Amino acid sequence: MSLQRQHRRKIEGSTLIIFGASGDLTSRKILPAIASLWDQDQLPDEFSVVGVARSPLGNEGFRKLVMSSAAGWESAANYLENFHYLQGDYTSISTYQSLAKLLDSIEQGRQTGKSRLFYLATIPDLFGKISSFLGESGLSQNGASDSTRIIIEKPFGDDTQSAQQLNDGMHRSFSEEQIFRIDHYLGKETVQNLLALRFSNAVFEPVWNRNYVNNVQITVAEQLGVGHRGNFYEHAGALKDIIQNHMLQVLSLVLMEAPATMTADSIQNEKVKVLSSVEIPPVQDVVSRTVRGQYFNGVINSDEVRGYREEQNISPDSKTETFVAMRLAVDNWRWAGVPIFIRTGKRMPKRETQVVMEFNRAPHLPFAGNSARQLGPNRLILRIQPEEEIKLVFGAKVPGQDYNIRSVAMNFSYANTFREASWDAYERLILDALLGDRTLFLRSDEVTKAWEIVEPVQQAFADPDFPLYPYAAGTYGPKESNKLLQSTGHYWHNS
């Protein structure tokens, strides 16, 4: 299967089993995505959903949850009876025995095969246990004509070793081809468009290398604080929450070589290759390439907001980072010597995810005196969210008698260009998993490579003396982040 979906197969009657049916992700993302897929006629009438969790919801309670989660679902009345609920504890084998019976009876009632997609939208500590019980109870087997697949949500482990253990554990019950590791960034239209932009145009690829690119900047800025996810965030921090997964995924798509074909393995091979080329610094060098920060109170959109340590479920002397900036190097023929700057933070002035390719300056400017003083470097800006757009910044003459040159922007916006609506990331990914298309999911070796890159940073952050710089909410992080770039003659491009 591949990214080119014009020959999409139709989904046959199958069952989605949600572990974590009463949880946050299920009601915010999974159930609305299923409802929308039915509305768009992407799921057959025989498709069923089974929710599993401890809360005593029953079928009726689960269906109510579906209705409240998928507000505005047009075809709800046709499909509500396709939702079933099983109350059970994931740590007890009897839950899986009951689940097997329930699935058999649904499939017999609907006269469908045994195509099953398990979705682990639950506490990551339970992933290993659930997959081993699915194996023990015979639920992980792939039938001759039916498929059994499993989706897992991040985090995929806590470090290289635990990620490897999780992979090994899951491989005891499921083959790699059955496992779909979600990074919802890959479901975003603009992230997929990175490959279209690079590999369907003749103009960009020739300059996409160390001869023309001066530096690359990737920013994932969040305006929100930790909200009600304090307990989770205290143990994660920006490094594990954003950099290890979303940012390294975007980085690999921006910097990888052209795949031989647009199939899952071809693309994943190239992603793994470029991740393998990211230089891994010794722990003692991390401090000179990395800035760690934490927000204190400040103002965003004229509103006073609390500092991180005043947020709910956060320790008053927490050292968890809410901001990380790093300078990376990619040691291969294409990128040797080009600094790759990445940064992510909470409580920044606005929500934005973007990649900036900054090109070298023109070798000589034949214009008199000050006429080009307002001219910045050429930049290609790939905006991933909230707006999905591509912007090329270049020099143009300011109208008038004088010959002044200033930077201007040429803008391509998804929303203004295409009439077709962008798909929600979860709709795209759930549908792909049902179709068995692994292109937009992570392979086990990608996950371990990404952990290897952040591992020395994790170790450095564990040192109580590693600096944690404060920054005011509503700013682009601590000033040390600017210094990180200034030390090599660069500066951040904020939008």
**Residue numbers annotated as active site:** 246
Residues interacting with ligand NAP, by CB under 6 A?
20-25, 53-55, 89-91, 121-124, 126, 153-155
Nearer to ligand NAP, 54 or 373 (CB): 54
Nearer to ligand NAP, 215 or 249 (CB): 249
Name, in order, each residue with C-beta under 8 angstroms of 128's C-beta and a sequence gap of 6 or more. Answer: 165, 166, 169, 170
CA separation for the pair 40, 36 (Å, rounded): 6
Nearer to ligand NAP, 121 or 382 (CB): 121
* Minimum gap (Å) between residue 42 Cβ and ligand NAP: 23
Nearer to ligand NAP, 23 or 230 (CB): 23
Rounded to 5 degrees, what angle do the CA atoms 356, 182, 176 make? 120
The residue at minimum Cβ distance from ligand NAP is 23
* Minimum gap (Å) between residue 484 Cβ and ligand NAP: 28
* Minimum gap (Å) between residue 55 Cβ and ligand NAP: 3
Nearer to ligand NAP, 20 or 293 (CB): 20
In Å, how far are 272, 317, 434, 437 from 191, measured between CA atoms? Answer: 17, 37, 21, 17
CA separation for the pair 377, 493 (Å, rounded): 11
* Minimum gap (Å) between residue 30 Cβ and ligand NAP: 9
* Minimum gap (Å) between residue 152 Cβ and ligand NAP: 8
